Amino acid sequence: MFRVEHVGSFLRPQRLLEAVREHKAGRRNDSQLKQVQDECIREIVAFQESIGLPTITDGEFRRRSWSAGFIDAVEGFGLRDGTLAFRNEGSVVGVASSPYAKAPLRRKRRIVADDYRFLKSVVGRGAPKVTIAAPDVMHYFLGPKSFEPSIYRDREAYFSDLVKIYRDEIAELGLAGCTYVQLDDTALPCNCDAQARAEVAARGEDADELTERYARLINDAIAQRPAGMTVAIHLCRGNLKGAWMAEGGYEPIAEVLFNRIEASVYCLEYDTGRAGDFSPLAHLPRGKRAILGLVSTKTPVMETKDFLKRQIDAAARHARVEQLGIGPQCGFSSGGGGGQPITQDDTRRKLELIMEVSQEIWGNT
């Protein structure tokens, strides 16, 4: 368990974006696209290693967006609009589309295991980490509409197929030598939002029951992971080129999140007041680590060392400082595509700042 984490995604290089567009238009075949992806992944791995990051990802360069890697690899999903909208300080900027089962779910290919094999082959130092959308993301935003009743008789039948898909994928990752898996979860943190909880009640569900059930769902999904495989959970209230979906502190989910989910590392969004204060960290048991996402990927504005250290001091009033770490609140390109609010130079400067603060507080990463 490291003192510094990053969530996973990085800005796609322009030539990668162009290659994807050409592939979609039929002007570039699969092999030609893969060649560009491989080259860009080698470069982003070297970028991470040059900063000294302890964990290394492939930037999520082979997927359309953070959750698309899962959805695209599983047969049976369709998309429909959920109830939560992305918004910024001034307006609503769009409604999030969410997956639903329109046919029986079946893993038609490896989701991230092949990606991991390539990543591992090009990492020279650091721990290769794979990221994948958490299973509760496939339910929360649509609730009872997350599956067709003609396909699954009830929620439990739907969850059963989801669990099988995750177990099969984690088994493949284990065979590939993967020792670090991060589940990206927007469901649980959005379940802290008062408006979202009211919408859950309006559709006939109980927000607290969902938190409990999602903990069991996640545990079931990872139950057969190989010994020595670390599981991290990244919690995010939505990040689409600076916009977000929800707000509210972690208190409604904290006890279940930290004590009932069998994860070792929690990468927590904490870059704005929308995430609440640090008091929920009092629920964090010994042996687990909270990575405080204090550095924002939503803005190029640089945080200061003094600010970050004050925030860590405030968090340490609720959890032991040796259980804490620091990172960005989300990935640097979770929405995919162009038009991101920060540049690659901003990315480097923010990550270097995180590394420096970690070194000054803990003496290692």
Domain enclosing residue 350, as ranges: 14-362
Whether residue 150 is predicted with pLDDT greater than 90 in this model: the reply is yes
Largest CA distance in the chain: 57
If you average pLDDT over residues 34-40, what whole number do you get? 98
**Predicted structure pTM score:** 0.94
Q: What is the pLDDT of residue 243?
A: 72
pLDDT digit string, tens, across residues 239-294 = 776 676 788 999 999 999 999 999 999 999 999 998 999 999 999 999 999 999 99
Question: Does 183 reside within a domain?
Answer: yes
Question: Does 284 reside within a domain?
Answer: yes
Whether residue 1 is predicted with pLDDT greater than 80 in this model: the reply is no
Whether residue 94 is predicted with pLDDT greater than 90 in this model: the reply is no
Q: What is the pLDDT of residue 93?
A: 65
Backbone angles phi, psi at 305, to 5 degrees: -60, -45
Question: Does 1 reside within a domain?
Answer: no
Task: Say if CB 136 and CB 214 are below 8 A apart.
Answer: yes
Question: Does 7 reside within a domain?
Answer: no
Question: HEC string of 96-125?
Answer: EEEEEEEEEEEECCCCCHHHHHHHHHHCCC
**Under the phi-then-psi rule, with left for phi > 0, alpha for psi from -120 to 50, and beta for the rest, what region is 268?**
beta
Residue 67: pLDDT band (50, 70, 90) is confident
Mean confidence (pLDDT) of the chain:
93
Number of domains in the chain: 1
Q: What is the pLDDT of residue 238?
A: 75
Question: Does 155 reside within a domain?
Answer: yes
Whether residue 22 is predicted with pLDDT greater than 70 in this model: the reply is yes
Strand positions, DSSP E, the chain:
55-56, 74-87, 92-107, 127-128, 130-133, 180-185, 230-235, 265-269, 289-295, 324-328
Q: What is the pLDDT of residue 258?
A: 98
Question: Does 6 reside within a domain?
Answer: no
Whether residue 89 is predicted with pLDDT greater than 90 in this model: the reply is no
Task: Give me the CATH number covering residue 208.
Answer: 3.20.20.210
Question: Does 108 reside within a domain?
Answer: yes
Partnered with residue 291 across adjacent β-strands are 267, 325
CB crowding 109-148: b at 16 or more within 10 Å, else e: ebbbbebbbbbbebbeebebbbbbbbbbbbbbbbbeebbe
pLDDT digit string, tens, across residues 200-231 = 999 999 999 999 999 999 999 999 999 999 99
If you average pLDDT over residues 325-349, what whole number do you get? 87
Residue 191: pLDDT band (50, 70, 90) is very high
List the one residue out of 239, 157, 237, 130 whose CA is nearest residue 190.
237
CB-CB neighbours of 194 under 10 Å: 12
Q: What is the pLDDT of residue 245?
A: 76
Q: What is the pLDDT of residue 83?
A: 73
More confident residue, 66 or 240: 66
Tokens of 128: 């290769």
Whether residue 116 is predicted with pLDDT greater than 90 in this model: the reply is yes
Mode of pairing for the β-strands spanning 92-107 and 74-87: antiparallel
Q: What is the pLDDT of residue 90?
A: 66
Q: What is the pLDDT of residue 242?
A: 67
Rounded (10°) angle between helices 207-222 and 194-202? 90
